[in-house]
Amino acid sequence: MRIATIICALFFALVMLAVPTPTPAQVSVGISVGFAPPELPVYEQPICPGDGYIWTPGYWAWDSDADDYYWVPGTWVLAPQVGYLWTPAWWGWGGSAFIFHEGYWGPQVGFYGGISYGYGYFGHGFEGGRWDHDHFFYNRSVSNVNVTEIHNVYNTTIVNRTDVRVSYNGGNGGISERPTREQESYDRERHLPPVAEQTRHVETARGNPQLRASANHGKPPVAATAKPGEFSGRGVVGAKEGSYKAEASRPAPHAGTGAGARSETGARTETNGGEHNAVHPKELPAAEKHTVPSSGNAKTDQKYQQQQDKLDKQQAQERQKLQAQQEKEHQQMAKQNADQARKAQVEQRHQQQTQQLVQRHTQQQQNLQQRQQPHAAPAPKQKR
């Protein structure tokens, strides 16, 4: 009896090892690129091939062998489990490069960069359908469904901008959305990775030279498919619109290791040339020393110069305080041995904090100048 029990236990352990283990959402380690992916192409959604399929939007992936982005067509995928939804993959600026965040399956849709992929994925959550017990119901206002074959449908009108095609979060020109506390809790849950069909779908796209951004210029000939891996036939849809100049988007070669230098992998180092690039306050240009223009009244000029000096001092202290706070968070991450996903999230938050600091200081300076404007010296009259 004891031998039989041991054999059963060993058999059960082997079975459990064969079952895919849900894993927390995280960035794909090692996938980072020094320049942004192209804009999202415009395409029509293929008709849903059958009940239970959930739409997974297309996105730009990176092929290190080809040194190029390539388009992974949007496609309909059978959910791996009743009640599970798809959180799309997304690119986010990580402070020195764009980092790829893998998509995943879970009971809730987590953060995907605030990127509007369309067809239900408008930056937050999913509006293309919902689970009701063991059936998935499709929102016909955003999902292409044949109602003669699929009857579990409903209609909810979604108002959404369709002119925003940015494909990444953070950095120059990226989406500035941050995850909510609710979304962060979803991301910490255990999830299922892409199913085997999705993995094969990505590999098929990677092996197609026409799907590389440098070849299709942001307008892939296969933008979406009815089923994973089927890149030909009636269910294939090409892009209607796309815009991308591969060479212009790449970092220019730069010798040396000073400000603006670029590594061999293309990951860029932020320069101090523009405030919008800075991730931390120490990367901002040196604070300008403001001098109040003379109004002809020494007492008034002294009063306003004191106000200006006070504001300059206050803003310098706020810079130092924010820099110290961010450095403390870096030290905490180092002690905790934080993973790449956590580091990327913190760096994106730091960049947003720095940008907000710049905007606030600029507004404060403008407000002060407006208050002083009525007392400035009048412009000299022109002689007739």
Q: What is the pLDDT of residue 161?
A: 57
Q: How many CB atoms lie within 10 A of CB 73?
A: 31
Q: What is the pLDDT of residue 80?
A: 95
Q: Rounded distance, CA 17 to CA 27, Å?
A: 24
Q: Over the stretch 207-217, which tens digit does the pLDDT of each residue have?
A: 999 999 999 99
Torsion, Cα of 182, 188, 190, 195 (10° steps): 80
Q: Is the pLDDT of residue 373 over 80?
A: no
Q: Rounded distance, CA 89 to CA 78, Å?
A: 17
- pTM here is 0.61
Residue 296's pLDDT band (cuts 50, 70, 90): confident
Read off the pLDDT of each residue in 156-167 and give the average, rounded to a whole number: 75
Q: Is the pLDDT of residue 192 over 50?
A: yes
Q: Which of 112, 255, 245, 97 is nearest to 172 (CA)?
A: 97
Q: Rounded distance, CA 234 to CA 247, Å?
A: 34
Q: What is the pLDDT of residue 369?
A: 76
85 φ, ψ (degrees, to nearest 5): -125, 165
Read off the pLDDT of each residue in 225-232 and give the average, rounded to a whole number: 94
Torsion, Cα of 60, 62, 68, 73 (10° steps): -30
Q: Rounded distance, CA 317 to CA 192, Å?
A: 46
**Which of 68-72, 97-101, 264-268, 343-347 is modeled with the greatest confidence?**
68-72
Q: Over the stretch 16-39, which tens digit does the pLDDT of each residue have?
A: 444 343 444 445 545 889 899 999
Q: What is the pLDDT of residue 337?
A: 80
Written as six digits, the tokens of 164 are 């925003």
**Which of 239-248, 270-279, 329-338 is modeled with the greatest confidence?**
329-338
Pairing relation of β-strands 59-63 and 68-72? antiparallel
* Mean of pLDDT over the chain: 79
Q: What is the pLDDT of residue 250?
A: 63
Amino acid at 74: G
Amino acid at 136: F
